[in-house]
Amino acid sequence: MYYSSWLSLIVISLGVSVAAFVWALHNGQFSDQRRARYIPLSSEPVLPPLHQPTKRIWELYALAIVGLLGLAAISVSIALSLYWI
């Protein structure tokens, strides 16, 4: 019984991590790897992109919901583990 709360936390965390990785792949976060590897070696300041992508408000809400779900999962895991001690 004690392990079920921690296993649920691991499963939820893994699911959120995979969802975040898929979102990053979908939005092109890893698209320019050839240039990105040389950025720490350059002495020039990194310039922002010419066009700013529009911020989608639903992404901010989704991020807030994912964060709150993560906090809730951690809270439930801690509460269940303290309850069964």
Mean pLDDT of the chain: 78
Residues 6+ apart with CB under 8 A from 5: 76, 77, 80, 81, 84
For 34-54, what is each residue's pLDDT tens digit? 776 777 777 777 666 666 666
> Per residue in 16-33, pLDDT tens?
888 888 888 888 777 777
